[in-house]
Amino acid sequence: MKRAFFLLLCILVSAYSCKKTETPAPEKTTVVFKHGKIAGDPALFQELLDEFERQNPDIDLRDEALPASTDEQHQFYVINLEGKGPEFDVLSMDVIWVPEFARAGWLRDLSHLVPEPQREEFFPGPMQAVTYREKLWAVPWYIDAGLLYYRKDLLEKHGFEPPRTWAELISISKAITAKEPDTYGFIWQGKQYEGLVCNVLEYMWSNRGNVLREGRPVLASPENIEALGFMRDLIVRHKVTPELVTTAIEEPTRHIFGNGNAVFLRNWPYAWNIFEKEGSAIKGKVGVSVLPAFEGGEHAATLGGWQLGINRYSRNPEAAERLVRFLTSPSAQKTLALTIGYKPTRKSLYEDRELRAEQPFIAGLYDVFMHARPRPVSPYYMMMTQAMQPEFSAAISGMKTPEEALRDAQKELKRIMETAE
On whether both 110 and 52 belong to a single domain, the answer is: yes
DSSP sequence for 322-377? HHHHHHTSHHHHHHHHHHT-PEESBGGGGG-HHHHHH-TTHHHHHHHHHSEE-S--
* Residue 192 covered by a domain: yes
CA gap 301, 305 in Å, rounded: 12
Task: Give residue-wise pLDDT tens across range 140-194.
Answer: 999 999 999 999 999 999 999 999 999 999 999 999 999 999 999 999 999 999 9
On whether both 273 and 179 belong to a single domain, the answer is: yes
CB burial string 332-370: b at 16+ within 10 A, e below: bbbbbbebbbbbbbbeebbebeebeeebebbeebeebbe
On whether both 131 and 182 belong to a single domain, the answer is: no
Domain limits at 245?
145-302+377-420
Quick one: pLDDT band at residue 401, thresholds 50, 70, 90?
A: very high
* Residue 240 covered by a domain: yes
* Residue 165 covered by a domain: yes
The pLDDT value recorded for residue 69 is 80
CA gap 17, 7 in Å, rounded: 15
Task: Give residue-wise pLDDT tens across range 72-114.
Answer: 999 999 999 999 999 999 999 999 999 999 999 999 999 999 9
Question: How many Cβ atoms from other residues are within 10 Å of residue 177's Cβ?
Answer: 19
* Residue 130 covered by a domain: yes
On whether both 277 and 192 belong to a single domain, the answer is: yes
CATH number (domain holding residue 87): 3.40.190.10
On whether both 91 and 200 belong to a single domain, the answer is: no
Task: Give residue-wise pLDDT tens across range 247-290.
Answer: 999 999 999 999 999 999 999 988 988 898 899 999 999 999 99
On whether both 188 and 239 belong to a single domain, the answer is: yes
* Residue 23 covered by a domain: no
On whether both 363 and 381 belong to a single domain, the answer is: no
Q: Residue 172: is it exposed, middle or buried by C-beta count within 10 angstroms (0-12/13-18/19+)?
A: buried
User: Residue 198: which of 405, 381, 407, 4 has the closest Cα?
Assistant: 381
For the chain, how big is the Rg over CA atoms in Å? 27
14 pLDDT higher than 60: no
* Residue 21 covered by a domain: no
309 Cα distance to chain centroid: 14
On whether both 382 and 338 belong to a single domain, the answer is: no
On whether both 309 and 415 belong to a single domain, the answer is: no
On whether both 168 and 227 belong to a single domain, the answer is: yes
Residues 6+ apart with CB under 8 A from 398: 232, 236
Task: Summarize the confidence of residues 323-330 as an average pLDDT.
Answer: 98
On whether both 238 and 369 belong to a single domain, the answer is: no
* Residue 13 covered by a domain: no
Quick one: pLDDT band at residue 421, thresholds 50, 70, 90?
A: low
On whether both 195 and 296 belong to a single domain, the answer is: yes
The domain total for the chain is: 2
* Residue 46 covered by a domain: yes
